[in-house]
């Protein structure tokens, strides 16, 4: 009986394995996009601090990057959002650990520079 079950279920087990591999590849791609957007946000802050861009350009690009990061986080971590925390607080908390390229401070830690 077990041999018959193994023979009949073999195609389904193979399909399940392929689905898991596709899911893992998609997750890795989304995580890479999230890391890229966070690095771009850090670079954007650096460019503002060095005067390479003005506040208007910074605000526009920052809003785009934050929207991109937020949408990626909703897909990657749907279970991590507590009911009593709004989207902006959750995003700010998750970005709090992002370190500036030179390692001196957390990005967004000093809002007086804007």
Q: Per the domain annotation, does 5 fall within a domain?
A: no
Q: Per the domain annotation, does 3 fall within a domain?
A: no
The pLDDT value given to residue 10: 84
The pLDDT value given to residue 53: 92
Q: Per the domain annotation, does 29 fall within a domain?
A: yes
Answer whether residue 2 shows pLDDT above 80. no
**Do residues 73 and 93 touch, judged by C-beta distance below 8 A?**
no
**Do residues 21 and 87 touch, judged by C-beta distance below 8 A?**
no
| Arithmetic mean of pLDDT, 5-26 | 89
Q: Is the pTM of this model over 0.85?
A: no
**Do residues 103 and 46 touch, judged by C-beta distance below 8 A?**
no
Q: Provide the residue range defining the domain that includes 57.
A: 13-109
Q: Which two tokens stand for residue 7?
A: 């023979």
Q: Per the domain annotation, does 8 fall within a domain?
A: no
Q: Per the domain annotation, does 2 fall within a domain?
A: no
Answer whether residue 76 shows pLDDT above 70. yes
Q: Per the domain annotation, does 4 fall within a domain?
A: no
CA-to-CA dists, residue 110 to 35, 62, 79, 93, angstroms: 22, 15, 29, 14
Specify the number of domains making up the chain: 1
Q: Per the domain annotation, does 7 fall within a domain?
A: no
**Do residues 36 and 72 touch, judged by C-beta distance below 8 A?**
no
Q: Per the domain annotation, does 27 fall within a domain?
A: yes
């Amino acid at each position: 009986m077990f041999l018959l079950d193994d023979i009949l279920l073999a195609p389904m087990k193979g399909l399940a394995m392929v689905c898991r591999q596709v899911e893992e590849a998609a997750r890795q791609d989304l995580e890479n996009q999230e890391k890229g957007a966070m690095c771009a946000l850090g670079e954007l802050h650096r460019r503002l601090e060095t005067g390479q861009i003005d506040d208007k350009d910074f605000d526009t690009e920052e809003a785009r990057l934050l929207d991109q990061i937020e949408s990626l986080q909703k897909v990657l971590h749907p279970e991590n959002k507590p009911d009593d925390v709004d989207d902006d607080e959750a995003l700010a908390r998750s970005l709090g650990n992002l370190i500036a390229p030179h390692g001196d401070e957390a990005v967004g830690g000093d809002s007086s520079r804007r």
